[in-house]
Amino acid sequence: MVLPHSPFLFALAVGFLLSLQNARGQETGNAPALRPPNIILILVDDLGYGDLGCYGASKQATPNIDRLAAEGARLTDFYVSAPVCSPSRAAFLTGCYHKRIGVNHVFWPVSKTGLNPNEVTIAEILRARGYATRYFGKWHLGDQKVFLPTRQGFDHNLGIPYSHDMGSMVRVKKESGRLNPLHMRVVPVLRDEKVEELVKDVGPLMSVYEQELIEFIGASGEQPFFAMLAQHAVHLPNEPSKSYRGISQNGDYGDWLHELDDSVGRILAALEESGLDRQTLVLLTSDNGPAKKNNGTAAPLRGTKHTTWEGGVRVPFVARWPGTIPPGQVRREIVACMDLLPTLAAISGGSLSSVPGTIDGVNVAPLLLGTQLDAPPRQTFAYYQRTKLMAVRHGRWKLHLKAPDGRENVLFDLQADVAETTDLAADYPAVVRQLLDIAGPVRLDLGDGRKKGIGVRSLGHAAKLRPLFQATSHPSQEDE
């Protein structure tokens, strides 16, 4: 679970990757790309495991995302750190379980807490390597200036600071100076750290982000770039453009996902037109499983967002890098969102020396690049919900310490029973003991409930709350 910061081992990993990329460039008759690759990370909101065509979906078409899988790699066992948004996103960016860095809950508007600015993100590592960095879309790691993307390694930011269902403004009482939430049907769109506009419908922002990302690609020149595109789709409320409504067989959810897929297609086309296709790694995944009240599905997995059944934390993941990632790969090893930071650092030649402490990610670049491995990079995964350790996985076995249905020490063989239907604890007591033994050090390191782990770092705290904007109530804007 712990990644040692060894400069020697890291240098070996970088050398391996560059030599492999060089060899594959020669095999295809193309000059090897000696510069670090461009990286685009597309993070979909509340996308279910079974919502893409390449994962078995039939109610909406996703041909462009399916193309990423066909021309690259598709992971079957990719996990996020938590079954909800803010903790999961913190883990993506920092390479740590959310529990290690104190992000155990979703951040609300005008929150005094957020991702600690002392944590080092993927963007900071890549920027130190010479990358231009941009963030587009939903942030949700704190809306105070000290927590915004521009304070976490991104040169520029365009998007909203929290979920679009948190349409909240703030009114300041003159007599007390107190901040009082005022629920409104608008959210702020930030450009860098300033409010550019207030919007009621985030649907049109998909094309705005796409266009600015394409302009960013076109203007990149010789400088490598990292762009994180965190679209609002497909989080409730669903807000597809009018031209897409009714296009799928899955209501507004499927329509919005279809629109997102078309956007991905245009981004891929822009890479090809700019001649950067073979120099760009494109990743697409989700922050957690599908919401229970929406039309997404985690099939064939059990469960939804907010649960530690597989469907809450196992999500789609596809990666494409023409000429470097072999096409048509399906990898069944355990991979976690925390693995992106050390993996992208290795691929780019970046350094982990600035990371303030332990991280939980491992470098899975050889796996993505199609290397046959003697042993998987990651064999265990800990399932946390808020601060509680709910389950552990080792290899094919998953032990629910406390299952979402209330049962304790429930054992499943995920290779034979991915839907978690048959409890095998009575048949395999030795496996149960083995997994309980794995859970012990995890509890000691990361904590469990009120028991604080010895390896946990502090959440970020704003010195003073400053609302992004102030307002008074207007009947036309209040929720009906």
pLDDT per position as a tens digit, 226-255: 999 999 999 999 999 999 999 999 999 999
pLDDT at site 312: 98
Among 70-79, 204-213, 367-376, name the one with the lowest average pLDDT.
Answer: 367-376
pLDDT digits 0-9 by tens, 51-89:
999 999 999 999 999 999 999 999 999 999 999 999 999
Beta bridge partners of 113: 461
Structure tokens belonging to residue 359 = 């991280």
pLDDT digits 0-9 by tens, 372-424:
899 999 999 999 999 999 999 999 999 999 999 999 999 999 999 999 999 99
Are the C-beta atoms of 33 and 279 separated by less than 8 Å? Answer: yes
Average pLDDT over the chain, rounded to whole?
90
Residue 428: burial class (beta carbons within 10 Å; 0-12, 13-18, 19+): middle
Selected residue with higher pLDDT from 161 and 467: 161
Q: Where does the pLDDT of residue 468 fall: very low under 50, low under 70, confident under 90, or very high at 90 and above?
A: confident
Place of tokens 């608008």: 186
Q: Where does the pLDDT of residue 257 fall: very low under 50, low under 70, confident under 90, or very high at 90 and above?
A: very high
Measured at the CA of 118, the angle between CA 113 and CA 121, to 5 degrees, comes to: 100
Active site members: 85, 140
pLDDT at site 345: 98
Which whole-number Å values give the CA distances from 172 to 44, 107, 479, in the listed order?
34, 20, 19
Q: Which pairs from 184-188 meet CB under 8 Å and 24+ separation?
A: 184/471, 184/473, 184/477, 184/478, 184/479, 185/477, 185/478, 185/479, 186/477, 187/160, 187/162, 188/160, 188/161, 188/468, 188/469
> Per-residue pLDDT for 327 more than 80?
yes
Average pLDDT of the residues in 148-169 = 91
pLDDT digits 0-9 by tens, 291-310:
999 999 999 999 999 999 99
Regarding beta strands 329-336 and 73-79, do their DSSP bridges make them parallel or antiparallel, or are they unpaired?
A: parallel
Q: Return the half-sphere exposure (C-beta side, CA atoms, 13 A cut-off) of residue 40.
A: 28
pLDDT digits 0-9 by tens, 5-20:
444 344 444 444 554 5
Are the C-beta atoms of 280 and 21 separated by less than 8 Å? Answer: no
Measured at the CA of 17, the angle between CA 16 and CA 21, to 5 degrees, comes to: 120
Q: What are phi and psi of 38, to 5 degrees?
A: -70, 155
Selected residue with higher pLDDT from 69 and 109: 69
Among 49-63, 181-195, 274-288, name the one with the lowest average pLDDT.
Answer: 181-195
Place of tokens 């510069």: 35
For 299-449, strand residue ranges (E) read 314-320, 329-336, 380-385, 388-394, 397-402, 408-413, 447-448
Beta bridge partners of 191: 158, 194
pLDDT at site 212: 98
